[in-house]
Structure 1
C-alpha cells in the first residue's frame, strides 16, 4: 500500500474520530441546524503532528468541494506571501 502524502488520502485512522467530532461541533456551532448548501459558514480543519518533518496533513471540511479548498489554499498562500489576491470561489 502506498503511503499518502499531505492531504491526498483519507484521514489517518488515529485522527478520524476526533476530526469528525471537531467538525460536527464546529459546524453545529457556526451553522446551527442548517445543512448542505443552506449553511452560511464553510469550515476547513487541518491536523498534523507538531514538529514533524515528514508525515502528512489531514484535513476535513463541512462539505466544501475539493477544488474550492484548493482555491482557498492558493489564496491563503498568496496572502501570506504578500501577493495580489487570486480569483476563485473559496
Structure 2
C-alpha cells in the first residue's frame, strides 16, 4: 500500500459508515468503494482511506494521525467498539 513513513489504522465495529467517515473530516457522498487489496499509493487523494472489513469500518491514514486523537476516538467509540494503532517515521507506535 505504500505506507512507508507513517500510518494510522482505526477500526470501529458496528458503526454507521457515514458517521465514521464524517468524524475523519470526509464526505460520505464522495466516498468510493474499493477493495484494500487493490489499493496502492497512486490511489490516495487526501491520504485517508475508509473501507469495510467484515462488520467493521476501517480507516487507513497515510502519514496522518486523526484516528489516534481523543477528539476523534471518543465519538467513534460511541458508535461501536473502536481500536486505533499508528507508527511514525521514528518507529514510535501506539
Give TM-score scaled by structure 1 length.
0.29
The structure with the greater share of residues assigned to helix is 1
Give TM-score scaled by structure 2 length.
0.28
Which structure has the higher relative contact order (CA within 8 Å, separation 6+)? Answer: 2
